[in-house]
Amino acid sequence: MPPVRILKRVAFAVAALALSAGAAWAFEEKPFDMDAFKAAQNAGKPILVDAYASWCPVCRAQQAVLGGLKTNPKYDSLVVFKVDYDNQRDALDTFNVQKQSTLIGFKGEKETGRSVGDTNAASIEKLIGTTLN
């Protein structure tokens, strides 16, 4: 490969890295942990519990919607707890989750709403909005 092409590729990679490093995520996603969830509730944080399964196409569609909202500063204080549908049965029982692709909103200790199987960006954003008010 000619040196000029190599330099162009390196320059492109450096530029892409610089752009991605400058992008801030508005909200944090973390694996569900009861102690962290309780701490977020006690702090009055807006919370979204996301019961997902890696094999679920609806869950993947929901993740795409959430990914699109990640850079919106409106959601800076939101904490998203990911519950692994296949491996966290205790958490599913705690929240009375019957199906993967369940999203549950909380404002502190109060549940503000839930949806199951919803992939509509506007309604998912509306659910998240209930946690912020």
Q: Tell me the mean pLDDT in the region 19-28.
A: 57
pLDDT exceeds cutoff 90 at 65: yes
Higher pLDDT, 13 or 129: 129
Q: Tell me the mean pLDDT in the region 86-103.
A: 97
What is the pLDDT at residue 133?
Answer: 74
Has domain 24-132 been given CATH number 3.40.1410.10? no
- For the question of whether the overall pTM of this predicted structure is more than 0.85, the answer is no
Find the angle CA(28)-CA(118)-CA(79) to the nearest 5 degrees.
Answer: 15
Mean pLDDT of all residues belonging to the chain: 86
Sequence-distant (6+) residues with CB within 8 A of 40 are 47, 79, 81
